[in-house]
Amino acid sequence: MELEVLMNVLGDYGFPAAVTFYLLYRMEKKLDQINRSVLLLYTHEKLNPDQSAVSLPSRSRRQ
């Protein structure tokens, strides 16, 4: 993100718009990571329908 763009938004629309723009920019990265994770899980389940992507501990085994 360029400082000039941020300053133009701040000058034209005010502080709340600039903060919103910044937060949306940061959130986009997180949403991309979530999207990649969901696609990976979907692909794993599609290729291996008999295997679970998450292995849960068995309740009957105690040590």
The DSSP annotation for 21-51 comes to: HHHHHHHHHHHHHHHHHHHHHHHHHHH-TTS
Give the other-Cβ count within 10 Å of 44's Cβ.
13
| Residue carrying structure tokens 């502080």 | 15
pLDDT (tens place) for every residue of the chain, 63 residues total = 577 887 787 777 788 877 888 888 889 889 999 999 999 988 888 887 777 656 655 665 554
In a domain, 17, yes or no: yes
Count how many domains the chain has. Answer: 1
The boundaries of the domain holding residue 34 are 3-47
In a domain, 29, yes or no: yes
Sign of the C-alpha dihedral computed for residues 26, 30, 33 and 39 taken in this order? negative
pTM of the model: 0.46
Task: Report the C-alpha gap between 13 and 4 in whole angstroms.
Answer: 14
Model pLDDT, residue 53: 53
In a domain, 58, yes or no: no
